[in-house]
Structure 1
């Protein structure tokens, strides 16, 4: 099932790490999906900024 028109993605993570990650996210008041989404968005934003900086320097 997808939400807000975005496709679902599959990742492979061992059960022990996945369970601990769920506990960590719950303590922080977020979901694993939201935490991963924010992480990916931040990484892509930084990468795009670096790409623009490189292009401007050329």
Structure 2
């Protein structure tokens, strides 16, 4: 059984500063879209399905 310390460990990855800045920008844009109700927009579900196919894993 894992100890409390082992449960908190997270895997770390390395990315470039450019990639990091783009991820932060994309994350902020998604946050703004969610706040404005993008999940009610036509095509939102289709976009998620396309994402799942391209990523090979579920998003929801």
Q: TM-score, normalized by length of structure 1?
A: 0.40
- Structure number with greater Rg is 2
Q: TM-score, normalized by length of structure 2?
A: 0.39
